[in-house]
Amino acid sequence: MVLVIIPAFNEEKSIIGVLDELHAELPDADIVVINDCSRDNTAHIVRKKGIPCLDMPFNMGYSAAVQCGFKYAALKGYDFVVQFDGDGQHIAAEAKKLLDTIQQTKADVVIGSRFLQSSGYHHPLFRRIGTAIFRTMIKMACNYTISDPTSGMQVLSKRCFTELSMMNSYPEYPDANLIIELLRKGYRIKEIPVKMRSRTAGVSMHSGIVKPMKYMIVMFYSIFILLLKQRRIKNQKEPAYGN
């Protein structure tokens, strides 16, 4: 059983197109939208289409919404979860390729990479620098190459999303730091090339100048802490915050 999780914040302009595309390309997959306290009609539009919509009681951010999706998938017993954005950037046909790959290769995570092959995707300079730095950090920490560590289009196996759903320390920005953590815990991660569109509506969570700088600082620190943590903790159950 496959579940597509779509974290959504103010995506009323693009969500119908996303849902229609998913229905066409993945007719057998269930879909759930996690409404992160949108102030527009996102939730109303999703419910009108008969899609389950989990309403977060307050705006908690992308990673909390994604983790909520993982909890839903674990509760309902799904086998695979497809992480899919609600802003129209992700292409449903490409998600199908990720699903086929995870089923054939028995990987735990399949990441859709914009950079394994030339896809015409426009990646701003600052983001390209960040991606290159994270690529290097993953290589140094795990001796493994991930060409697109910030890709939000991923498919996860039950084993993987179940663990992530229970993680008290699920990161605020689940990118390179989460990949490093999963690799060091022995999860099998694969990448395949995918095409993505540029954002058609809404605002990116990494827009502006301050947000990307804050993101980079938090990411570096998070990876540093992670490398320290995994040196002392091997196969131990993660303590809850505050204990």
Using CB under 8 A, which of the segments 75-83, 151-159, 190-198, 214-222 binds another protein? 214-222
Output the six-digit token pair for 221.
Answer: 């620190």
CB of 47 or CB of 199, closer to another protein: 47
Contact 174, 63 (CB under 8 A): yes
Q: Is 234 in the site for another protein (CB under 8 A)?
A: no
Q: Is 185 in the site for another protein (CB under 8 A)?
A: no
Residues 28 and 185: their CA atoms lie apart, in Å, by: 31
CB of 60 or CB of 116, closer to another protein: 60
Q: Is 236 in the site for another protein (CB under 8 A)?
A: no
Q: Is 239 in the site for another protein (CB under 8 A)?
A: yes
DSSP per-residue letters across 183-230: HHTT--EEEEE--BPPP-SS--TT-SSHHHHHHHHHHHHHHHHHHHHH
Give min distance, CB of 49 to another protein, in A.
24
Contact 58, 37 (CB under 8 A): yes
- Pick from 191, 155, 176, 151: nearest CA to 226: 176
- Residues 22-61: x/- map of binding to another protein (CB under 8 A)? -----------------------------------xx---
Q: Is 125 in the site for another protein (CB under 8 A)?
A: no
Sign of CA dihedral 69, 87, 126, 98: positive
Using CB under 8 A, which of the segments 99-107, 111-119, 148-156, 222-230 binds another protein? 222-230
Instruction: Report the C-alpha dihedral over residues 96, 119, 182, 95, rounded to 10 degrees.
Output: -10
Of residues 154 through 173, those in contact with another protein by CB under 8 A are: 168-169, 172
Point out which residues bind another protein (CB under 8 A). 57-58, 168-169, 172, 217-218, 221-222, 225, 228-229, 232, 238-243
